[in-house]
Amino acid sequence: MMRFTLPRDMYYGKGALEDLKNLSGKKAIVVSGGSSMRKGGFLDQIEDYLKEAGMEVRFFEGVEPDPSVETVMKGAAAMEAFQPDWIVAMGGGSPIDAAKAMWIKYEYPDITFEEMCKVFGMPKLRRKAHFCAISSTSGTATEVTAFSIITDYQKGIKYPIADFEITPDVAIVDPDLAETMPQKLVAHTGMDAMTHAIEAYVSTANCDFTDPLALHAIKMIQKDLVDSYNGDMAKRDSMHNAQCLAGMAFSNALLGIVHSMAHKTGAAFADYGAHIIHGAANAMYLPKVIAFNAKDETAKERYGEIADFMKLGGETLDEKVALLIAYLRKMNDDLKIPHCIKNYGADSYPTEQGFVPEEVFLERLPEIAKNAIADACTGSNPRQPSQEEMEKLLKCCYYDTEVDF
């Protein structure tokens, strides 16, 4: 038996934020990230709509990018003190992911972070509160997914929390919010969405319900992402829907080792002054993982189907896979995303020598590879890598060398 789960209600289109006034409850806590939503007036709008719904409102602001376990615990403590019956999370992936983890801790105060990370082992939620997610970026799709990513900075590892219990009850996908994204964020979140759709389509858990969502998301991203990056606001609005479709697909079909590697490299070199931003990591690793997975015949056929759907040409499956890889690398060029860790600058842009020194990468490689294999996303990858293969694959992602194994 398999399961397909989405939020009960999704409100979309310009002005969808107004549907907050139709929520029914007594108290709402609003979780958000940096200052952009406050400066843009969106938090004031949320407060007004929730008060119109008859609720008392509190804010938990300032959730950092790649939210920490410590932030989760602080937010849960704020919820425990306020006792909301609605948690409203607004922003990109970070504040919504953090709010999902806060929700678990609020409902079960004695639960540990380690217990939260048991894949699909969550106790029943909604004993105290329901959850509404409002996306302001076009990539993570966490507003419709059963996933949350939290970083343990003491270990330098991002941990996915995965359970259908944390799928939001209500999702609001309002493109007005996405129009405020800076250009670099458009690039990174857009390639995150492309990775979600492609990994969902080749995942071993793909099904008849997820395939159409993944393919249509790929088609929309192919058509709209680069133009959105270059300032076309109609395409920006379309990308907000595309990333949501990709999220619906991967939340149910799961992901693969592009995400496993991105999770385990993202904060692994933070002591050298930067993170490898999640969407950029996905963009760099995706072509390499396609080449690796395509050694599996079933995966190769699925990649060929994607190439056909994108009308990339090619006669044989090998040609189609090569054209798909080339197309994705060209997208990275158009979006000013590097092709490998070696050329990934601290500002995320391509540079001759990136912020991760070669000797440091090689020293940490075995541990990163081990952690990537253990990541929750690895199990649904179409080809299961050994420790040796994962290390070789990560080296290809560092040096931008060919995957021939």
- 3-state secondary structure string, 301-361? HHHHHHHHHCCCCCCCHHHHHHHHHHHHHHHHHHCCCCCCHHHECCCCCECCCCCCCHHHH
pLDDT of res. 121: 87
**Rounded-to-integer distance, Cα 242 and Cα 223, Å:** 10
Q: Residue range 122-134: average pLDDT?
A: 96
Q: Are 237 and 185 in contact (CB under 8 A)?
A: no
Residues forming CATH 1.20.1090.10 domain(s) in the chain = 183-399
91: left (phi over 0), alpha (psi -120 to 50) or beta: left
Could you say which architecture CATH assigns to the domain 9-178? 3-Layer(aba) Sandwich (3.40)
Quickly tell me which residue has 């697909």 as its tokens. 249
Residue 304 confidence class, pLDDT cut points 50, 70, 90: very high
CA geometry: angle 168, 171, 177, nearest 5 deg: 135
Residue 125 confidence class, pLDDT cut points 50, 70, 90: very high
Q: For residue 197, what are the contacts with CB-CB under 8 A and spacing of at least 6?
A: 213, 214, 215, 217, 218, 221, 245, 246, 249, 250
Residue 16 confidence class, pLDDT cut points 50, 70, 90: very high
Sign of CA dihedral 110, 251, 197, 378: positive
Residues forming CATH 3.40.50.1970 domain(s) in the chain = 9-178
Q: Are 228 and 186 in contact (CB under 8 A)?
A: yes
pLDDT of res. 231: 96
pLDDT of res. 35: 81
Q: What pairs with residue 150 in β-bridges? A: 159
Q: Which of 150, 144, 197, 147 is nearest to 173 (CA)?
A: 144
What is the fold of 183-399? Answer: Dehydroquinate synthase-like, alpha domain (1.20.1090)
pLDDT digits (tens, 9 = 90+) for 47-101: 999 999 999 999 999 999 999 999 999 999 999 999 999 999 999 999 999 999 9
Q: Is the pLDDT of residue 359 over 90?
A: yes
SS3 123: coil
Q: Are 314 and 332 in contact (CB under 8 A)?
A: no
pLDDT of res. 193: 98
- Laid out side by side, the sheet with 130-135 consists of 9-12, 170-173, 130-135, 86-91, 27-31, 56-60
Quickly tell me which residue has 């993570």 as its tokens. 140
Sign of CA dihedral 114, 116, 121, 123: positive
Residue 39 confidence class, pLDDT cut points 50, 70, 90: confident
